[in-house]
A = this chain, B = another copy of it.
Amino acid sequence: MEKLSTQPYKGTRDFYPREMKLRNWFFGKISDALKTACFEEYAGPMLESLELYAAKSGEELAKEQTYNFTDRGGRDLAIRPEMTPTVARMVAGKLGELNFPLRWFSIANMYRYERPQRGRLREFWQLNVDIFGCDTFEADLDAIRSAVSVLRAFGADETMFRVHINNRRFFNDVIATIAGTDAETGKRVSKIVDRKNKIPRENYVKDMKELGISDEQIEQIDTLYSMNVKDATAICPNSVGAAELSALFDALEKTGLSKYCVFDFGIIRGLDYYTGTVFEVFDEAPENNRAMFGGGRYDNLVGLFVKNTGISGVGYGMGDVTLENFLVTHDLIPDIDADRTKVLVTRFDDVPLEAYTALVDALQDAGIPASVFLGNKKFGKQIDYAVKEGYSHVLIMGGSEHADGTVKLKNLATREELTLKKEELAAHFGA
């Protein structure tokens, strides 16, 4: 019979124990940092109604970038490509019971139908952090603060990353002021600016001109890309977006976060649903300088589900692959196996199995990871097994030790070996 392939589906990953340990370490760090900041964890289903994405994430993402199909009941479904529509649905579903403002996060897997490439897989895990029910800059500040806390939890500092911040409302007002564009044209300008670093300069200029932006206006817009927030906001003093930006940067300064942040007029964020503050976190490493993740404010997303809720949101998503690249680049991944106690009870034929499982029980009851070697290999092979599997110690109990109630404990790192009474075992490990 034809053998099946052992490869995972294209663009997905198998997590063997080694990779899984790393993943658990990642997610544990993130989760601890966010819980310390009083964010609460939630989760939603992998399958959602396709319309959830068609409605707000843009047609492209919904139809082309998702795995979608119709179930036997005729429902159009998609494997979630992002978490935001799900969390907006959940918030809308319990508006009456929920206690706003909410600080929520989730760490969940998503699927996007795209050509796999560095940092962009078809199945990826993503941290999603959102604050619902606070309209002021304070929520934007708290969201950005949480992103900084997460990166700092891994030992990252201001030399390693930078939060680039802009404001959609402000962007539109500035473009309108400079080029006299209407809302729709302003939106199309934003799409071009969003692609700015991905396309040649001449295409950028050509696209802008097609929207009626003159060379002079293009130059004016260019100056904004390197402008600080004070000079930029001065261009539209009466813009609501400008006021939001000023308040946010003032608070970043006063709360000690400004060293991690910078104003960047070129930050747009692709998704249509952002309305105010938008930000992207960049890796500052020269060899890896790129946007790692980002987010922003989407005031009317919950409104898709319930009429005039007035529930606003601000949040961001961070992919696991991007984070891993960042940590590797900055050498922030320690030996997560170091000084971990794990005891293998080795076996000899002249001692009954139950004598060995009794030792395992004593250690496990004391919370010390322990197991008995399965099978009957030679002693040397059992030691090899223990070393390969990352056991820190082996217990040795031959017929003579069994007879006089002792065991030999060997530390595989130091090779130190000592003889203990069985009842001293757990205590030896401080349990």
A285 located at the interface, meaning its Cβ lies under 8 Å from any Cβ of chain B in the complex: no
Asked if B134 and A375 sit within 8 Å, CB to CB, the answer is yes
A414 located at the interface, meaning its Cβ lies under 8 Å from any Cβ of chain B in the complex: no
Known: A43-B15, A254-B352, A354-B251. A374 touches B123 (CB 8 A): no
Residue among A20, A38, A123, A357 with max Cβ neighbours from chain B (10 Å): A38
Binding stretch for chain B, among A86-94, A231-239, A268-276: A86-94
Shortest distance between the CB of A289 and any CB in chain B (Å):
29
Interface residues in A262-314 (C-beta closer than 8 Å to B): 304-307
Q: In the complex, A405 Cα to B113 Cα: how many Å?
A: 56
Q: In the complex, A134 Cα to B347 Cα: how many Å?
A: 15
- Chain B residues with CB under 8 Å of A41's CB are 17, 20-21, 24
- Chain B residues with CB under 8 Å of A136's CB are 374-375
Contacting residue for A46 out of B79, B92, B101, B255, CB 8 A: B79
Binding stretch for chain B, among A67-75, A191-199, A418-426: A67-75
Known: A40-B17, A79-B46, A385-B99. A72 touches B113 (CB 8 A): yes
Interface residues in A42-75 (C-beta closer than 8 Å to B): 42-49, 51-52, 55, 67, 69, 71-73, 75
A-B contact pairs, 19 of them (CB 8 A): A3-B305, A4-B55, A4-B305, A6-B305, A8-B45, A9-B49, A10-B75, A12-B45, A14-B45, A16-B94, A17-B41, A17-B104, A20-B40, A37-B369, A37-B370, A38-B344, A103-B371, A138-B353, A139-B374
- 10 pairs of A and B residues whose beta carbons are closest in the complex: A6-B93, A12-B45, A38-B371, A17-B40, A15-B43, A254-B354, A134-B374, A69-B69, A99-B388, A101-B374
